[in-house]
Amino acid sequence: MFKTLISASQLAAHIDDPKWVLVDCRHDLMNLAAGRDGYAAGHLPNAVFADIETVLSGAKRGPDGAFLGRHPLPEKEALAEALRAFGIDDDTQVVAYDAHGGMFAARLWWLLRWLGHEAVAVLDGGMAAWQALGQPLSTEVPVKPHGSLSIRAPFVPTVTVREVMDNLASGRRIVIDARAADRFRGENETIDPVGGHIPGAKNRFFKDNLQADGRFKNPEDLRAEFGALVDDPQRAIMQCGSGVTACHNLLALEVAGMPGASLYPGSWSEWVGDPARPVAKGAD
């Protein structure tokens, strides 16, 4: 069972295994058709496509009309049924990949663990690592038998915006923001309507989890780098712009052997949906 990362060579040995399902998670926040267009142009053999906006996210507003962020968590049953349509069973090994260093694939990795499915891994190095081995791409869209994935106890915790607000006063937990340093400081904000960060948060840009070749750093280096920010992962809250790249930091923590951190799904985009919530700017 692969539960965090899988190498391109390891995947190649199982590419035709009927109990494995590959999921293409490519996406572009500024061009919502880019992922699906890329999939149509060429994808890993037997891979299906999961859209970040429609499959791996839910409704942007709650029953009370409150804005929940740009990529709120989907309803569990709706997500499970979408994944069953991909042919995923309880004993399926799922491999998520993208062309962005795991930026979007980590979202599916986290979501499956949220549903209680442990056998899910991200292709380390993504499509570039696959093609570097000389492995082929395909334009064929596979037809999968309907799966029987069930919803079980989650492996991953979450926190609500209320809990993050309450933590401002207590400071018992550390909030880690996965966005780029300039957006964290409140500069060059082009996605959300307000720049800055949650007061007291620390910055860990998700791309800092990667080596120059797009593969994850080794566990020892990740442990040292996260250890400088987080003394106890179970006290940590991971967030980003909309709850997607925070999953990359959560994956890196698992690779580092530091499990237990929580995801704040609404992240910055939900936080600034209410002008009453405080905003900090600058490096601290």
Which residues of the chain fall below pLDDT 70? none
Catalytic machinery residues: 240
pTM tops 0.85: yes
Residues β-bridged to residue 175: 237
**Residue 217, pLDDT score:** 98
161-273: what fold?
Oxidized Rhodanese; domain 1 (3.40.250)
**Residue 124, pLDDT score:** 98
**Residue 238, pLDDT score:** 98
**Residue 7, pLDDT score:** 98
SS3 158: strand
pLDDT tens per residue across span 39-81: 999 999 999 999 999 999 999 999 999 999 999 999 999 999 9
**Residue 3, pLDDT score:** 98
Backbone angles phi, psi at 170, to 5 degrees: -80, -35
Query: Where in the chain do CATH 3.40.250.10 domains reside?
Result: 5-133, 161-273
**Residue 284, pLDDT score:** 81
CATH of 5-133, one of 3.20.20.80, 3.40.718.10, 3.30.1280.10, 3.40.250.10: 3.40.250.10
**Residue 281, pLDDT score:** 96
The CA dihedral of 112, 117, 118, 121, to the nearest 10 degrees, is -40
